[in-house]
Structure 1
Amino acid sequence: MTATHAPAAHVITGATGFVGGAFALELLQQTADRLVCLVRGEDDRAATRRLHDALGHAAEMYGVPDLLPSILERTRAVAGDMTDEALPEYAERFRAAAGDAEFGTFWHVAASLKYEDRHADEINLMNVSGTRNVLALAKTLGQPVFNHVSTAYVAGKRTGLQYEEFPGDTDSANNVYEFTKTIGEQEVANSGLPWRVLRPSIVIGHAKTGAATSFTGMYGFVSSVLRFRRAVEKEFGNLLQHRQVPIIADPEIECDLVPVDLVARNAVTIGREGALSTVYHLNNAGSPKVGEVIEEVFELAGLRAPRFVADRGLLTEIDLKLDEGIQFYASYMINGKHFDQKNTESVCGEGSQRFDVDRAEVRRFVQWYLERIQSDGRASAPARAAFAYQDGRQPAASTQG
């Protein structure tokens, strides 16, 4: 008599977001498993509708509409919030959503990407307390393997080669975000659960389509440049057509941009085959230089190529408007890092974490974003307004989602 095995299920947080959504689609492609996702909503039915809408949108954007039936058939949501200390009490609802499937893997992707000190309480609530709550939930679901998505930039102010190991302390963090992600890693390692830590670098759109479903990271930098141009044009007319803007950056260091599908594909492979109690870098061995990225962004934003400087004292009052707007990105433009990939390549293969992003590729990703923000309500209202102004059109009215 042939033995039968219960189907497998995965729990995912952040599945309606950019990276988490890509993970969910990749799991649907690589496995026949069921996905149960923690999603905000009035009830489980509403949360599942929201999940299906988000994953369906991502599938269309990434050129995999054939996944739509799998999304409807194999994904369910449990309404809730990871900041809820009562999260472990949701266990029965997760089991009901999984049916006869057994939970084998937990993917914690959700996080706050804010970084400013004024948001410190919210960031800590999401990235530290939220991680503790999610770990407690995992323990009530049979202690599945806990795959924790962090960031390669827990390296903080450190420069040079960064190994796939714990940073050891939080002293080098550039901001509250990096600090809390470091603490989150420590919580996972000390949880008593089997674990892996996955560290993406700066995630950009899909390698083939260029599409993204959320606009932080590089896209936030582009928006900041557009807002700067709009502000200067409004006050000083066409001044920027005749002037190079100085920007504090080292043009020769790596700008580690990695396509979201590359991150998801290797993360899921690691989640199925990788050693436990191990850190994996999900960065891009084919990244461009900081100078190449900034120059392409400036050109596409209608600005002259910037002048790279190292001294803030060289900035005028006008230049400081941009400097203040890109403060979050400052550390990524001056503290050069190179991320070791030995652990990742040991599972996914040599060269598996490489997508060559040259100037033409940077331009393709940025151009996709600029075209998108002219017409898509999902883009940030400030970005749409800035681009509309510099194009000579009236800004579209913002909508509340």
Structure 2
Amino acid sequence: MTKNLRVTGALCAGALLLTATTASAAAAGPPAADPVDECSLTSATITATARIEPGLTQLFTAYGNTGEGWTGADSTYSVPLRDGTTAWIFSDTFLGPVEADGGRPLSTPFLNNSIVLQDGGNLTTITGGTAEHPESLVGPGPDTDWHWFGAGHRTRTGDLQVGVLGYARFGEGPWDWAWAGNSLATVDSTTWDVVAIDPLPSAAGIQWASWYQQIGGHVYVYGVEDLGAEKYLHVAKVLGGGLTDLKRWRYWDGQGWSREETASARVLDDVANEYSVTPYRDGYLLVTQDTSVPFSAEIHAYVACSPQGPFVHATKLYDMPEVGPSGTYGNPNIIGYNAHEHPELREDDTLLLTYNVNSVDPTELYDDVSIYRPRFVEVSLDVDPS
């Protein structure tokens, strides 16, 4: 499958340059290929200190305000590519222009997925369609009305693979839509053509796109069972890492790895639809918004000795300051969601997190372009092993 793409870009003069760094082996090096069940991390006391990260915050703000491409979106996954650039993966996306008062015209193009390519201090927007008529990179399908992007990873050949979540309408109401299935888009990272869209397991009601993590020779796939007010983390692993080979998928059933997707066990509740699970010290670190309370502003971390958990000892990392009537917008409609880490930007015990900000009143996204953009946060962890 080939898709012609539109690419627009602008160099954000004056923006602070932030390039991807490789985490130290002590902080982010993967544990043994066959993870153990005991580690010091789960007995440690962890405290967090957080601040707004200035470099990426200024870079994306300046670029979005130019109105020359991407002006706001959600999801905000990142994948470092072989040539040193970073692909920032987004779901619902606004393009320019931006008006002088900081609003958007109602005619602003709105796409369901896009990519922003970062090359040092230069950001470039990648979409489908043409410059005159931009479209989502992955458009509607035979049984879906739109697709949102999930996590991504780089293949051995250097291409970008992105989890794709399909949604379909079943009525005319604003909430008359539901998840319809999982697939995987393979994107040529040189031409930015979508060269393939392959089905992924979808029989168990689990959205397998929350996070992808290479561990040893396998890719661990993290998903969410989204029941609305209740959300549960699930874990699969793909032997050898070839995500499109469905015979290689195994599902954690609570005791071992099953070939049957329907055997997949609920590992943890109160996670968000998007989260991250990354190697950290001698174990694993889960970062997620706390969804035990509707529209919570809290971002939590859990730890585990194995990539399939159990995940224990919730630590609050950050309170999203924009959220709710007492937030920085002073607006009860403002919500935050889907926090996760970007491990390629970790430095020792300092993490780079993002989360998304939105309004339950969509008209407010046209009044103020600053609302619907990712936030970038540095979180420094103090890990006391005693």
TM-score (norm 2): 0.28
Structure with more helix by fraction? 1
Structure with more strand by fraction? 2
TM-score (norm 1): 0.27
Higher RCO, 1 or 2 (CA under 8 Å, sep at least 6)?
2
